[in-house]
Structure 1
Amino acid sequence: MTTPIITVDNIHKSFLMGKDAVPALRGVSLEIQQGDFVCLMGPSGSGKTTLLNIIGGLDEPSRGHIVVDGENLVALSEDKLARLRLQKMGFIFQNYNLLANFTAQENVEAPMILANVGRKERRQRAINLLQKVSLGDRGHHYPSELSGGQQQRVAIARALANNPPILIGDEMTGDLDSETGFAIMNLVRDLNKEGMTVVFVTHDPRMAEFATRLIHLQDGQLLREEVAR
């Protein structure tokens, strides 16, 4: 049996509200295999975004373990955790998080600079990635000159910059119209078919249908799982 690329083991997470600890996750356990296409769903306050942030190493659990590609994230130093995120994960957010003073190409190059990729290689890789997301002619445009859908495509290209095995998406179509949202999800599905593991959160059941595994959370607990046929 293959080793999961992501293992969530009895994760608990609480947040302090004044003097009270409010639980967000209550003993969640989950295994994700390389190449899975997983959607985390649930009502507001169910814990889905908290779980996604813990999987992505953006937050740490109060209790339990999270293992990504053989590394126990809880045991890693900040520097090693940042390096793992840089090399193993690509992140796509609802509001794109592009650097306003950077062109599309420069935004895609940014993670490669952090990974010490040479100038010539990162430039060519950025050009290739923008072509992959159908923005080959927009490399020198700034975010303010691009539509929402185009900005999200730049964000996807940036997420792929260091060729990570895992793609993390937080409401990545939330600010887009339906047509553009479906186009973005089709692109993400194509990446999944190439072998990339995708874990994302959405409130839109139409976008959730792209996933092959639907994980439903409620009140911080795993309620049920559906597997697409």
Structure 2
Amino acid sequence: MYTIKQLRRKKNISQTELGEQIGVSLRTIQLYERKDANIPIKNLTKIAEFFGLTIAELYMREVNDMGEAYTKRQPFTKHNSVFYPLDQGKHLVMAPLVLVEHQEKYIQNVKEDKISNPFQAGFVIDFLADNPHRIFEVSGDSMNDGKIDAIPNGTFVLGLEIKKESFVRSNETSWNLPYVIVTANRVICKCLTGYNKKKKTLTCHNLNTSPEYQDFELPLEEVLQVFKLVKKQI
């Protein structure tokens, strides 16, 4: 993010000093200061806090520098996410973030129909949707095949919630796509390849072809939430 370089220079500190403050190497800071940098959410939070900003404010500075100027229209809240209008119909969405270590608590809140998530992260999206957005930290390498569409361990993904019942009558366009699935005891990221009407199960597929990662059937009744992946940040 180019704005990190600007903030660092304004504060009159070196890349090495900034790295020491957030616990990363000089080389990592050099990469973070590139405009196309993919910065892990945890480190982005540390950087924002160091400069006395929120993640949203950090993003707003960056999108202005990238030519995706903030339109000055008022941000709005929907489904516990905050949307900041940008030019050309784009929006910065600050959505609830579910870290791996908080998945158990998130599942419990879903079961109890509670809304409690103190963490947020941001993505720039090209279109608005009526359904809720959530950001999940992916655990494990079952979706990592080393290719461009891989979703390796530690990836942050932006998901758009869809009704699980839609898979019962869905067409081919719904299949062979990655989803985050919240069940009664875990949060998983898988490609869904079909629905077995007789068994009432979803077929979950792993991108990683290693023998330890086998496809499996997931009973629809065990599914609490389903999120279609919109974007990812490795």
Output the TM-score relative to the length of structure 2: 0.28
Higher helix fraction: Structure 1 or Structure 2? 1
- Higher relative contact order (Cα pairs below 8 Å, separated by 6+ residues): 1
Which has more radius of gyration?
Answer: 2
Output the TM-score relative to the length of structure 1: 0.28
